[in-house]
Amino acid sequence: MAFAWKASGLTYNKYLSVAARVVRRSLKDDKRLAAERRGEMELRFAKWNNGKQGDNKSVADANAASMAEAGPQSS
């Protein structure tokens, strides 16, 4: 028998993200605010060319830009 998260088409990381968000939202206000701050993250990356580091970019911003370039997807 498959796990429920797998049967619904979620990856394990997405399942953990959803579960963590549910737990954070169920906490009382003072503990919820502290837990939500721990849950936020800012990932950054830089491309390297010829041994030199390029500009640091936010992963979220780069993802949004690439989605905008790709345009709407037709199914």
DSSP states of the chain? ---HHHHTT--HHHHHHHHHHHHHHHS-HHHHHHHHHHH----EE--EETTEE---EEHHHHHHHHHHHH-PPP-
Kindly report, residue by residue over 30-44, the tens digit of the pLDDT. 888 887 777 666 788
pLDDT band at 2 (very low <50, low <70, confident <90, very high): low
* Same domain for 47 and 23: no
- Domain presence at residue 53: yes
Which domain does 10 fall in, by range? Answer: 1-38
- What domain count does the chain have? 2
pLDDT band at 49 (very low <50, low <70, confident <90, very high): very high
- Domain presence at residue 12: yes
* Same domain for 51 and 25: no
- Domain presence at residue 75: no
Query: For residues 27 and 71, which has the higher predicted lDDT (pLDDT)?
Result: 27
- For residue 53, the model assigns a pLDDT of 92
- For residue 17, the model assigns a pLDDT of 84
Question: For 42-46, 47-51, 54-58, which range has the lowest pLDDT when averaged over its residues?
Answer: 42-46
